[in-house]
Copies of this chain bind each other. A is one copy, B any other.
Amino acid sequence: VKIARRGGLLLVGPNTMGVYSAPVNLRALMPPVSPVKGEVALVSQSGNIGTNLLGFGSTVGVGFDKFVSSGNEADIECYEYIAYFGADPKVKVILAYLEGIRSGRRFMRVAEEVSERKPLIVYKAGRTRAGVRAARSHSGALIGSNEVVRAVFRQTGIIEASTVNEMLDLAKTFVRMPLPNGRRVGILTWGGGYGVVASDAFEEAGLEVTSLTEESLRELDKILPPYWSRGNPVDLVGTFDRQIQPPCLDIIARDENTDIVVALGFIVGSGAFAGSYRSAPWRKEEEGEIVKSWLSKADEENMDVLVEMVRKHSKPVVAVTLTTDMDVVRRAAEKGAIVYPTIETAASVLSKMVRYVEYLRRRGKLRMVED
């Protein structure tokens, strides 16, 4: 570091897998990973996790503008990269995988300043004694008490990812969805059980399964059979009439009592589903293929509906694939729609988005959408 300083050089690392910058087409990375270009910046103290996220981003629909594998941070520290990304107008969302934070006060000041302008999403590793031991032998990071770290995150508006891959789900959501006004969720479900599961998951994550307005209920009455539940979740009780889903979703999304809308069974995922259909003994191979292509077409059309609903109602309208079919997650992302791999991911990500909005509001930093 001394020698570098004397020569006017800044050091990345040591123990780094390199850097990436989309605007200048710089891809100085150890593994031959080539990220999709996008609006997300990532700093990672683990080169392996960092480059994995770059590559996996292309599967789940997260494009990157800049990346640095910061390693053991002998010279430049994570807060400096975050400050740099914070000042970069091309970067809309910042991700950080951190094992340790050395300059605590500077980190806090930068985090607070940056998260008032854009979402700063952190996965903090080294939370347990075993994790700290592993981190010491890995990046050599010094680690503060977990309670202190959590308090710092709360105070500075940092959004904490629960898992490494949730960083990507959070990034995708912040890039593609408008900020929700509040925590009230409307649910459309094709089957009742998943409506119950989702109600639990969203409430446990701190969201509110709202009541729909009388007007919405009356409009739904016109479409749904008389025995429908007349409440939220709106349960389509397994109807095979595909024309019913989009107008129901539209009514829920239009309702002034909903801030967020989640659709279950709306994007089926042809892979896992058709797989089990195809193996049905009374069906021929061709019939399986017909079911698969029909499901696939229905999914494609419904992805377009999701995109249209977000545009029309300016609130997050998302779907969940109940079989963790990563293929529909990717195809939806290509179309600009969001499909989460599980109900629990949706609950976690959306509740964190709401908490971030509340943080911005407390700080008086919520701005109108610029068109």
Interface residues of A (CB under 8 A from B): 32-36, 44-50, 52, 54-59, 97, 99, 123, 125-131, 133-135, 137-139, 162-165, 190-197, 199-200, 202-204, 208-209, 229-231, 233, 235, 238, 265, 271-273, 275-277, 279-283, 322-326, 341-344
Asked if A279 and B59 make an inter-chain contact with CB atoms under 8 angstroms apart, the answer reads no
The minimal Cβ–Cβ distance linking A261 to chain B, given in whole angstroms, is 15
Asked if B202 and A130 make an inter-chain contact with CB atoms under 8 angstroms apart, the answer reads yes
Asked if A163 and B344 make an inter-chain contact with CB atoms under 8 angstroms apart, the answer reads yes
Asked if B34 and A276 make an inter-chain contact with CB atoms under 8 angstroms apart, the answer reads yes
Q: Which residues from B are CB-within-8-Å of A99?
A: 193, 196
The minimal Cβ–Cβ distance linking A274 to chain B, given in whole angstroms, is 9
Asked if A196 and B34 make an inter-chain contact with CB atoms under 8 angstroms apart, the answer reads no
The minimal Cβ–Cβ distance linking A81 to chain B, given in whole angstroms, is 16
Q: Which residues from B are CB-within-8-Å of A235?
A: 137-138
Q: Which residues from B are CB-within-8-Å of A128?
A: 199-200, 203-204
Q: Which of B33, B191, B272 contacts A49 (CB 8 A)?
A: B191
- 11 A-B pairs with CB atoms under 8 Å apart are A49-B194, A50-B193, A54-B276, A128-B204, A130-B203, A133-B199, A134-B192, A138-B235, A165-B324, A325-B326, A326-B326
Known: A193-B46, A199-B131. A33 touches B163 (CB 8 A): no
The minimal Cβ–Cβ distance linking A61 to chain B, given in whole angstroms, is 12
Q: Which of B36, B58, B233, B277 contacts A134 (CB 8 A)?
A: B233
A200 to B126, CA, bound (A): 6
Q: Which residues from B are CB-within-8-Å of A204?
A: 127-128
Asked if A191 and B48 make an inter-chain contact with CB atoms under 8 angstroms apart, the answer reads yes
Known: A58-B279, A272-B59, A276-B33. A134 touches B342 (CB 8 A): no
